[in-house]
């Protein structure tokens, strides 16, 4: 059930699975809660940090996405658009390992075995 409460505060709130939101968008439930379906290689989720006093001034953007070429054949990446190092604007691919996923920095798309 989706609830929309415009009277909660000046911005309103969207609630899914709860009537007591902790944020403007609050999803509550058990198991997997968010699914993003898309048919291209663009980022699936984008987190955009803005200035406190101006939502139109972007400070930093963090992207999550996947590139897949077939069933169970693809890779997951994270991309931070405002790195202040030699890897600024580069995708960071998550590589499968026996214990921990390792972040790799690449200039181009690289199959990391996910």
Q: What is the pLDDT of residues 68-107, one digit of tens each?
A: 888 888 777 777 765 444 444 555 555 554 333 444 443 3
Q: What is the chain's length?
A: 114
* Model-wide pTM > 0.85: no
Bridge partners, residue 7, by sequence: none
Over range 35-50, report the average pLDDT. Answer: 81
CA distances from 21 to 11, 30, 70 (A): 13, 16, 39
CB under 8 Å, gap of 24 or more: what pairs does 79-83 form? 79/43
Nearest C-alpha neighbor of 44 from the set 28, 67, 21: 67
């Amino acid at each position: 059930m989706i609830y929309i409460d415009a009277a909660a505060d000046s911005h309103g709130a969207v609630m899914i699975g709860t009537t007591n939101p902790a944020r403007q968008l609050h999803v509550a439930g058990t198991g997997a809660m968010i699914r993003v379906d898309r048919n291209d290689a663009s980022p699936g989720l984008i987190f955009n940090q803005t200035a406190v006093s101006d939502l139109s001034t972007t400070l930093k953007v963090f992207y999550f996405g996947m590139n897949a070429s077939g069933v169970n054949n693809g890779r997951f990446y994270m991309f931070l658009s405002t790195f202040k190092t030699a890897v600024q604007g580069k995708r960071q691919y998550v590589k499968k390992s026996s214990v921990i996923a390792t972040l790799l920095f690449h200039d181009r798309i690289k199959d990391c075995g996910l």
